[in-house]
Structure 1
Amino acid sequence: MNGTYNATCRNSTPLAVAYSFVVLLGLPLNALSLWIIVCRHRLRAANTVIMANLAASDLLLILSLPLRIVLHIKPNKLLLVPCKVMVFLMRTNILSSSFFITLISVDRILALVYPLRSRVVRSPRTSGIACSAVWLLAMACYLPDLKDSRRSSTCFIILSECNSSDFNTDTKDELPFFALTLSVCLYLMFIVNLFATARVVWNLNNRQMDLAGYSVKRVMLIFLVNVLIFALFFLPLAIVLPQPEPKPEHIEVTLCLSTFNCCLDPLVYYFALDGFLEKKKNTDV
């Protein structure tokens, strides 16, 4: 680094304000959501297990933002351990959140389209195993870049150190493993959510689906919010990362945008769990 900072490390108050908004709005919403899911529903259904993991993932991501806010306001060199912790939380929870949101869509389509055949699969235990696999995958994707001392020597930005040359073709540096994995996964998860939404719309139009007490509006909102989260918050980052020479400032802006999903995820809990409360006797819905 030669003691210098590039565009991603200079004062960036607008990004600091944006991250602050996510913290102020997302922290209470997700903390309350997690409390309701765990204490009121006690993880008795497959969907509540997934939602609890999504809320926990969002909270961990939000907890990584205060340090990033400080760096945007007043860039400075930090100890290696806090830097790695911040990047680790940011990386793993963006990836895990995309998987958990998709698992919610998959769980909903199984419950609505295949209510009887999916009962064996849709259990709290199965959801717990799936969520554990997501956490392990998200953490494993961080390890290759962590072992690269050049990339892990500083904390800013998510993909590399505070050095725009890491994204320069002159350095012949390959796209970091996590960047490639995240980009591919976000596209795949978006396709799965689109398919789930299209399948639900098709079944509703053909009246081939038992809504089990849900209103059509509520069912559609669950899927549309999930698709909206990907389209607005995740896909811009997935588009920027694979570019031959992504500009650090573009990555940082799309990275900031991706954290806003933490503010919209509680809508998914509301639409799904409100219907669940209306069907108290049917905890498997």
Structure 2
Amino acid sequence: MSNITSQACLSDGVPGGPLFVGVYSTVFLVGLVLNLTALAVFFRHGKSRSHTVVYMTNLALTDLLLVLTLPLRVYYHLGFSIHLPWLCDIVGLVLLANMYGSIFLLACMCLDRCLAVSFPMSPRVCEARKKAPLVCLGVWVLTVGASLPAYISKRAEASAAAATNNASCFGNFPFYATQPVALASTLTVGFGLPLAVMLASSWGLLRAIGRSAAAAQTELVDSRKIRRMVATNLVIFLICFLPYHCMLALLYMYQKERPCPLLVTYWYSLMLACFNAMLDPLAYYFTTETFRRKMDVGAMRRMFPLHNSSSNEVQHKSRGPLNT
């Protein structure tokens, strides 16, 4: 049933064309450069790595994994056949793992900043923040483990229809994701809970900054930058992930009819989710003082190698007490 609907939509040529090819190619090129640059900055300055940077490093890694799978999607949307169904399934698994890995890591970053600002002197909070590597490990295990049932389900469905045409490599109906149990856990644990954490943490962070006496001293805390950081993270989160989860709910409501326009819109929402791999590094630069300063200084050193000592002095003087 799902294959019939998918093939009918594919026969109209909806998921092909220059839009998908252009978007996936752009995300691949820009995301590859930005995420590699971000990882180079993070690992180069590993000795001064804060807890927030630990989350950023893992976020850049998962974004890089997604970016590396996009050439196959470009190849597919150019109209070429992919004769390795297992490869399509693995690429789909990477997309799911990246999506929910990014969701959880963004929520963890937001909560970490809130705790750091709201309870800067609390020993319990300091000890909890030191567990950032373990939290990231748990996110990887959770996201990959939660994505495996979808992969196994797709393999079982492909085995039941062994003679199926592989032209619908990335155009199948999300059968597993629209099952009641999977959909409920996805909308609550996978999206709703992290969104609630981000909203509560953002509110707590802004509230703490508003009540802080240091917020009035721009040399210590720039409240405008913090508000911009909070707004940027929330906007990226909602733009990339809200449409996909809304489409899952709509596909569940119309699971029997499975109208082609709804299914095509679902494919567009998946494409939109991939933008996260390109937007996250931009968020590092525009909202994180440490990342921006270190990347700029590194670039200046490459451009002016004779002035290393002076640039070191400038970097030392530019350090402020707020290191996020």
Fold in common (TM above 0.5): yes
TM-score, normalising length from structure 1? Answer: 0.83
Cα shift at 1:112 = 0.9
Matched letter for residue 169 of structure 2: F
Q: Equivalents in 2 of 1:74, 1:147: separation in Å?
A: 26
Q: 1:224 to 1:79 in 2, by over 3 A?
A: same
CA contact (8 A) 1:146 1:152 kept: no
CA contact (8 A) 2:85 2:169 kept: no
Q: Equivalents in 2 of 1:147, 1:260: separation in Å?
A: 26
CA contact (8 A) 1:233 1:259 kept: yes
Q: 1:280 to 1:165 in 2, by over 3 A?
A: closer
Cα shift at 1:28 = 0.4
Unpaired segments of 5 or more residues in structure 1? 168-172
Q: Equivalents in 1 of 2:8, 2:126: separation in Å?
A: 54
**Aligned residue for 1:170?**
none
2:187 to 169, 173, 183: 183
Identity of aligned residues (%): 24
Q: Equivalents in 2 of 1:189, 1:182: separation in Å?
A: 11
Q: Equivalents in 2 of 1:283, 1:205: separation in Å?
A: 16
The structure richer in helix per residue is 2
Q: 1:189 to 1:152 in 2, by over 3 A?
A: farther
Secondary structure, aligned partner of 1:74: coil
Q: 1:92 to 1:43 in 2, by over 3 A?
A: farther
Matched letter for residue 28 of structure 1: V
1:261 to 237, 256, 276: 276
2:144 to 135, 139, 144: 139
Cα shift at 1:174 = 5.2
Unpaired segments of 5 or more residues in structure 2? 160-165, 295-314
CA contact (8 A) 1:145 1:152 kept: no
Secondary structure, aligned partner of 1:119: helix
Q: 1:28 to 1:176 in 2, by over 3 A?
A: farther
Q: Let me know the Cα RMSD of the aligned residues.
A: 3.1
Q: 1:165 to 1:217 in 2, by over 3 A?
A: closer
Cα shift at 1:105 = 0.6
**Aligned residue for 1:74?**
79
Cα shift at 1:205 = 2.9
CA contact (8 A) 1:29 1:263 kept: yes
Q: Does 2:240 match 1:225?
A: no
2:169 to 153, 156, 161: 156
Cα shift at 1:165 = 9.6
1:84 to 84, 89, 98: 89
What is the number of residues matched between the two proteins? 273
Q: 1:176 to 1:138 in 2, by over 3 A?
A: farther
Cα shift at 1:201 = 2.3
Secondary structure, aligned partner of 1:120: helix
CA contact (8 A) 2:38 2:281 kept: yes
Q: Equivalents in 2 of 1:52, 1:165: separation in Å?
A: 30
Q: 1:62 to 1:191 in 2, by over 3 A?
A: same
CA contact (8 A) 2:93 2:148 kept: no
Q: 1:18 to 1:179 in 2, by over 3 A?
A: farther
Secondary structure, aligned partner of 2:121: coil
User: Which structure: larger Rg?
Assistant: 2
CA contact (8 A) 1:106 1:196 kept: yes
Q: 1:164 to 1:139 in 2, by over 3 A?
A: closer
